[in-house]
């Protein structure tokens, strides 16, 4: 007999003992309940029928529990139970293995690209930027985390939970886009510092170096301005800018839906409710204004025709 | 290869000297910043003569009667506030017009709240503007007035003049975008990428601070760094500090823009460029630029990074009148109104131009509807162009 089967048989007997004691408990519990119920309701008149009904329901419930535990005490059922329980760590292992694989892939990409990030970029050029680190981050998120947030929810509160998950999801996507955009906004600072180094070297070679710090600052600001202008017109920036705005707006929309759920329990109207009301007021006001204008015009024309007749 | 010789010692000496000066300046600036400062803006007295919802009509009474009998209505943009036209004594477009005896009206669009999110361009142009103009015309018993628009307010004025030409005697557009199909200004490039529907559905009204952040990002090196370095260097100068704070007050006083107005302006103007093609529709009516039969003076800034000359200069060639003039000043978007150099050119030019036309055309009281307007009503053809006028 190997160690595994010994462990299993020990576990079986432990489980059987626990099942037996649980079954005994559920067998004696209705009797105890019946006794205490009888004692408390003795001579209470009208309420006796109701108490008796309640006691009957409890007894039924106890019987169901009792039969459930008896069934579970069977060796076959016990084996099935252990099989299921044994499978659980496997599931967890599988999930974590997938997660770890994704993380490792991301980490590898990160290492590969982090070196590239540190490499100086060419001045006044923003095309073909290496944004793979952010893409890798996004990929990892979309493959490993997002599916968990998109798991269909069940039950009464499913819509509420879905909106919470959606908010979390949109927030994460927004963060990824924002990080990419912020990195782009940092690039001109890096590039202009490099240009300044080159300019200083050049001036030094030509013996034109100024002693005035302000002159260096002015040159730097001018270079920085030029870099930003070039960046802001690049298709890479425009894409990042547009994606970040959309991600921010999608996050805000999801957040508003979640907050609207929370506000439902408070005596506070939601934006949507107020907007509906504002729209109605706007349309009514517009109609009233148009009618008032038409009336005024009619009055003016009838007055002028009266004046003409006089 | 010889190593680079940077005179670090000299630079450090200079830097130490500068640090010493900076410390001195900081000490002095404490006196300035802690003393009472006059940073008030828009101090010229006015009277609110008409109000509809959040929109007010300001009336500025001139100290003396001038040669121009027709009142002038200024229409500012929905972005930022009209207070820029009366920023400070000595740099006030309003004050300059009053000194010339012009009867001046100005629309204050107010601060749109959430309930204004459904207000469209049509409501602004055919609603508020039309009501305001009717009020002024009734008040002065006149059939027409002079209309001057600024930036987006200029675009509204162009739309209004095309839809109600019978009520506009002369039209002046300043830094007014009418051709949005250009990549010269970053704003034009960026706005093509924006999902206006998603933006408006998310925010309702476009938050002023959000728009301001966008404007700062158009030139972060100058607007977020250099500007404040300049302030630091001059903060011991009381007058400089006061003027700087006035400008800061104005720049960051940004009302939200009503959502539906923003949506239409971005989609129909920035993305589809409908205005200059006479294809824009307001309230079911087409804005046909050929209906602009009154004289038109179009002023813009050569170095305007928000509304570049390319966005402005096409207008005069698309309108129905031939009495047009383009004036390109060597300045930026705001400099036109506040720089001391432009103060000497901008309002005198408008005043002279209006005076010439106010005297030439007799005031007639009959009202004509847009459809009844004869094409032959055009003023004698001039079609001038005055580039580099300020140089």
Is the pLDDT confidence value at A172 over 60? yes
A209 — pLDDT class (breaks 50, 70, 90):
confident
Is the pLDDT confidence value at A3 over 70? no
B118:A282 CB<8 A: yes
Query: Which pLDDT value is given to residue B82?
Result: 96
B387 — pLDDT class (breaks 50, 70, 90):
very low
Q: B349: Cβ–Cβ under 8 A, 6 or more apart, which residues?
A: B297, B299, B327, B389
**Residue B11 counted as domain residue:** no
**Residue B372 counted as domain residue:** no
Mean pLDDT check: name the lowest of A277-286, B313-322, B363-372: B363-372
- Which residue, chain included where needed, has tokens 């200024």? B74
B370 — pLDDT class (breaks 50, 70, 90):
very low
Q: B370: Cβ–Cβ under 8 A, 6 or more apart, which residues?
A: B163, B164, B165, B166, B285, B291
Mean pLDDT check: name the lowest of A210-219, B298-307, B315-324: A210-219
Q: Quick one: B8 exposed, middle or buried, by C-beta within 10 A (0-12, 13-18, 19+)?
A: exposed
Beta bridge pairs of residue A2 = none
Beta bridge pairs of residue B56 = B51, B108
**Residue B200 counted as domain residue:** yes
A246:B195 CB<8 A: yes
Q: For a pLDDT cut of 90, what percent of chain B falls above it? A: 78
Name the residue facing A211 among B14, B194, B201 (closest C-beta). B14
In chain B, residues 171-200 whose CB comes closer than 8 Å to chain A? 183, 186, 189-190, 193-195, 198-199
Distance (Å, rounded) from C-alpha B174 to C-alpha B78? 15
**Residue B2 counted as domain residue:** no
Is the pLDDT confidence value at A277 over 80? yes
In chain B, residues 3-32 whose CB comes closer than 8 Å to chain A? 4-7, 10-11, 13-15, 18
Q: Any idea which residues of B carry the catalytic annotation?
A: 151
Helix, strand, coil tally for chain B in percent (to 5): 45, 15, 40
Q: What is the mean pLDDT of chain B?
A: 89
Mean pLDDT check: name the lowest of A109-118, A241-250, B207-216, B360-369: B360-369
Q: What is the DSSP string of B255-308?
A: PPBPHHHHHHIIIIIIIT-TTTTT--EETTEE--GGG--S-EEEEEETT-SSS-
Q: Are A124 and A230 in contact (CB under 8 A)?
A: yes
Mean pLDDT check: name the lowest of A196-210, A280-294, B169-183, B195-209: A196-210
Report residue B315 CA to chain centroid gap. 16
Helix (H) or strand (E) holding B360: helix B346-360
Query: Which pLDDT value is given to residue B388?
Result: 39
Interface test with A, best of B118, B229, B366 (most A CBs within 10 A): B118
Q: Does the pTM exceed 0.95?
A: no
Query: Which pLDDT value is given to residue B1?
Result: 44
Distance (Å, rounded) from C-alpha A244 to C-alpha B194? 10
CA-based R_g, chain B, Å: 23
Number of domains composing chain B: 1
Mean pLDDT check: name the lowest of A191-200, A204-213, B258-267: A204-213
Q: What is the DSSP string of A16-30?
A: HHHHHHHHHHHHHHH
**Residue B55 counted as domain residue:** yes
Is the pLDDT confidence value at B377 over 50? no
A228:B5 CB<8 A: no
On whether ipTM exceeds 0.85, the answer is no
Query: Which pLDDT value is given to residue A41?
Result: 47
Q: A109: Cβ–Cβ under 8 A, 6 or more apart, which residues?
A: A132, A133, A136
Is the pLDDT confidence value at B329 over 70? yes
Domain that holds residue B266: 47-361+379-386
Evaluated on CA atoms B299, B301, B306, B307, the torsion sign reads positive
What is the CATH classification number for the domain harbouring B341?
3.40.50.1820
Average pLDDT of B61-77? Answer: 95
CB neighbours of residue B136 within 10 Å:
21
Cβ–Cβ pairs < 8 A, chains A and B: 91
pLDDT per residue over B262-278, tens digit each?
999 999 999 999 999 99
Interface test with A, best of B15, B55, B115 (most A CBs within 10 A): B115
Interface test with B, best of A185, A191, A209 (most B CBs within 10 A): A209
Distance (Å, rounded) from C-alpha B385 to C-alpha B314? 12
Beta bridge pairs of residue B88 = B91
Average pLDDT of A267-296? Answer: 93
**Residue B368 counted as domain residue:** no
CA distance B21 to chain A (A): 13
A242:B193 CB<8 A: yes
Comparison of pLDDT for B196 and B379, the residue scoring more: B196
A73 — pLDDT class (breaks 50, 70, 90):
low
CB neighbours of residue B101 within 10 Å:
16
> Within chain B, what is the greatest distance between any pair of CA atoms?
86
B12 — pLDDT class (breaks 50, 70, 90):
confident
A21 — pLDDT class (breaks 50, 70, 90):
low
Report residue B239 CA to chain centroid gap. 25
pLDDT per residue over B136-154, tens digit each?
999 999 999 999 999 999 9
């Amino acid at each position: 007999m190997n160690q595994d089967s010994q462990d299993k048989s020990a576990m079986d007997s432990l489980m059987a003992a626990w099942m037996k004691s649980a079954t005994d408990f559920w067998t004696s519990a209705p009797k105890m309940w019946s006794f205490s119920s009888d004692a408390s309701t003795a001579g209470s008149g009208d309420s006796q029928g109701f108490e008796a009904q309640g006691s009957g329901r409890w007894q039924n419930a106890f019987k169901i529990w009792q039969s459930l535990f008896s069934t579970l005490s069977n060796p076959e059922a016990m084996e099935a139970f252990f099989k299921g329980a044994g499978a659980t760590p496997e599931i967890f292992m599988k999930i974590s293995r997938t997660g770890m694989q994704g993380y490792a892939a991301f980490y590898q990409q990160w290492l590969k690209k982090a070196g590239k990030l540190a490499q100086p970029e060419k001045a006044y050029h923003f095309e073909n930027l290496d944004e793979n680190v952010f893409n890798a981050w996004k990929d990892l998120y979309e493959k490993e985390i997002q599916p968990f947030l998109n798991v269909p929810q069940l039950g009464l509160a499913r819509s509420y939970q879905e909106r919470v998950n959606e908010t979390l999801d949109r927030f994460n996507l927004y963060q990824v886009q924002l990080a990419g955009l912020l990195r782009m906004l940092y690039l001109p600072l890096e590039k202009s510092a490099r240009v300044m180094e080159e300019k200083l070297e050049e001036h030094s070679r030509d013996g034109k170096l100024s002693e005035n710090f302000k002159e260096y600052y002015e040159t730097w600001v001018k270079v920085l301005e030029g870099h930003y202008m070039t960046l802001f017109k690049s298709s890479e920036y425009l894409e990042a800018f547009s994606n970040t705005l959309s991600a921010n707006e999608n996050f805000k929309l999801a957040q508003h839906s979640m907050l609207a759920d929370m506000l439902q329990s408070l005596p506070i109207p939601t934006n949507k409710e107020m907007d509906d009301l504002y729209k109605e007021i706007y349309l009514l006001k517009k109609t009233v204004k148009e009618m008032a204008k038409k009336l005024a015009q009619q009055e003016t024309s009838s007055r002028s025709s009266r004046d003409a007749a006089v | 290869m010889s190593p680079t010789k940077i005179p670090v010692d000299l630079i450090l000496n200079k830097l130490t000297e500068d640090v010493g000066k900076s410390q001195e300046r900081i000490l002095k600036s404490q006196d300035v910043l802690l003393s009472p400062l006059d940073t008030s803006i828009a101090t010229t007295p006015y009277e609110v003569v008409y109000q509809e919802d959040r929109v007010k009509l300001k009336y500025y009474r001139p100290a003396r009667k001038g040669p121009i009998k027709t009142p002038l209505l200024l229409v500012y943009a929905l972005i930022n506030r009209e207070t820029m036209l009366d920023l400070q004594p000595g740099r006030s477009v309003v004050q300059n017009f009053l000194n010339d005896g012009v009867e001046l009206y100005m629309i204050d669009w107010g601060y749109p709240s959430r309930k204004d999110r459904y207000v469209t361009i049509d409501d602004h142009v055919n609603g508020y503007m039309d009501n305001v103009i009717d009020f002024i015309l009734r008040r002065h018993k006149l059939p027409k007035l002079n209309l001057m628009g600024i930036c987006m307010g200029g675009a509204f004025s162009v739309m209004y003049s095309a839809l109600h030409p019978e009520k506009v005697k002369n039209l002046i557009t300043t830094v007014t975008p009418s051709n949005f199909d250009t990549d010269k200004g970053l704003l034009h490039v960026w706005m093509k990428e924006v999902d206006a529907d998603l933006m408006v559905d998310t925010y309702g009204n476009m938050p002023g601070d959000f728009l301001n952040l966008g404007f700062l990002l158009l030139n972060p090196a100058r607007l977020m760094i250099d500007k404040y370095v300049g302030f630091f260097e001059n903060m011991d100068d009381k007058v400089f500090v006061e003027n700087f704070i006035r400008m800061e007050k104005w720049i960051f006083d940004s009302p939200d823009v009503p959502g539906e107005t923003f949506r239409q302006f971005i989609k129909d103007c920035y993305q589809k460029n409908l205005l200059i093609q006479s294809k824009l529709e307001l309230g079911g009516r087409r804005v046909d630029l050929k209906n602009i039969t009154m004289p038109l003076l179009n002023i813009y800034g050569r170095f305007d990074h928000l509304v570049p000359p390319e966005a402005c200069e096409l207008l005069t060639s698309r309108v129905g009148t031939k009495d047009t003039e383009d004036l390109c000043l060597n300045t930026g978007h705001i400099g036109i109104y506040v720089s001391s150099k432009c103060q000497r050119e901008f309002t005198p030019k408008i005043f002279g131009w209006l005076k010439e036309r106010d005297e030439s055309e007799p005031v007639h009281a009959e009202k004509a509807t847009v459809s009844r307007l004869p094409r032959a009503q055009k003023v004698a053809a001039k079609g001038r162009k005055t580039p580099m006028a300020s140089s």
